[in-house]
A and B are shown apart, each in its own frame.
Chain A
Amino acid sequence: MARKDHPFFPHHVLEQVLQLFLLLAVLFALTLWRPAGLESKADPLTTPEHVKPEWYFLAEYQVLKVVPRTVGIVGMSLAAALIFVFPFLLDRDKSRYRPLQRPAFYFGGILFVILYGIFTIWGHFS
């Protein structure tokens, strides 16, 4: 599917410039809607009522809350290691790209994303 009529320059570079300006527009809009806040200076002696990590760590945070800590940590570390190296071990058949030709990976991936989302939302409201 390499499009011979689509060289890096100028076509792709122009697209990237367009994306950059759209991105800056989004960032400006977010900033004007709600500029980055700053709470009072850190005080090790006063614990705030609600202590939570950033949204992108919420899923892991919630997993550690509902399963025993050691199990959760070991499990997630193994999962991370698996994500790292699995292309060398699994799903290497180059004749199967379509979703239904590799259902375990396709639907497994979707399931993982859904679970991650559920745990993030759960972590947000718990």
Chain B
Amino acid sequence: MAPERKTLADRFVAWIAENVNLRVLINLFGTFTGFLYGELDERLELKEAVQKQLRKPLSGRVTHWGGCFGGITFLLFAIQVVTGVLLAIYYRPSVESAHDSVLFIMNDVRYGWLIRSIHRYAAELMVLTVMIHMVKVFLSGAYKPPRELTWVSGVLLLFLTLAFGFTGYLLPWDQRAYWATTVGTEMAHSVPLVGKYLSYALKGGDVIGQRTLSRFYAMHVIVLPWVTTFFLLSHFLMIRRLGAYEPL
């Protein structure tokens, strides 16, 4: 076994462990909030189950610095959910008012520019980190049995991330959005046999218009988030049960 390297995170955790008595903190938390879930806990023994899950030791791979890209991708997804909900409050998905509502978010909504910019940058970072994660998993051979399905769910999550990017790009309804989507749907059009129907289904018609915007919006804020959540959960569950890989 290679000598363990102390990362910044390791030292931070060690500092917390030395200076903060976490067990006392957790017990105090339980004491003060027990009346909220006590009745439930008596019947379902939640506390025991939760503690067992929390204490479970992790595979060294997940905690190694190079293994952090999957976790960072998840954090970025969480940021996207929060900022995305905030944007959806002001965004109006119609051809007439989408552009105006984004302008309103950028110029008039307090910190709207910040939320939208974070959403934009986190989206691009998310594509980047999910790609790095995938390359690292591939090069280390972590997809070998019994972890094939973890890999499959991961590839699905990559494609879902790209679908998020593709559908989200149209929503501001500016020139760049419109013409990038034109290029995208033209690519779909050149798929042999089904290309025509595929591009028609994407656009909701022969041209990019209100129907395109509506269906991209529905995909971006309803369908994709829930599908992604489902595959994230299965990805994490499989990692919990099977572990990340253990190199020989």
Seen from chain A, the residues whose Cβ lies within 8 Å of a Cβ on chain B are: 1-12, 14-16, 18-20, 23-24, 26-28, 30-31, 35-36, 38-44, 46-48, 51-57, 60-61, 64, 69-70, 73-74, 77, 80, 83-85, 87-88, 91-97, 99, 102, 105-106, 109-110, 113
Contacts and interface: CB of A to CB of B under 8 A. Distances in A.
Contacts of A41: 99, 173-175
Interface residues of B, number: 87
Contacts of A97: 140-141, 144, 245, 247-248
A12 B141 contact: no
Nearest to B152: A84
A73 B191 contact: yes
A102 B143 CA distance: 13
B154 to A, nearest CB: 10
A51 B182 contact: yes
A97 B179 CA distance: 45
Interface of A is mostly: helix
A43 B190 CA distance: 24
Contacts of A64: 187, 190
B60 A3 contact: yes
A2 B57 contact: yes
Contacts of B113: 31, 35-36
26 contacts: A3-B4, A5-B57, A8-B58, A10-B17, A10-B22, A18-B12, A19-B9, A19-B68, A27-B117, A27-B122, A35-B106, A36-B113, A36-B120, A39-B174, A40-B174, A42-B175, A47-B179, A51-B182, A53-B183, A57-B184, A69-B190, A84-B155, A97-B248, A105-B138, A105-B141, A113-B135
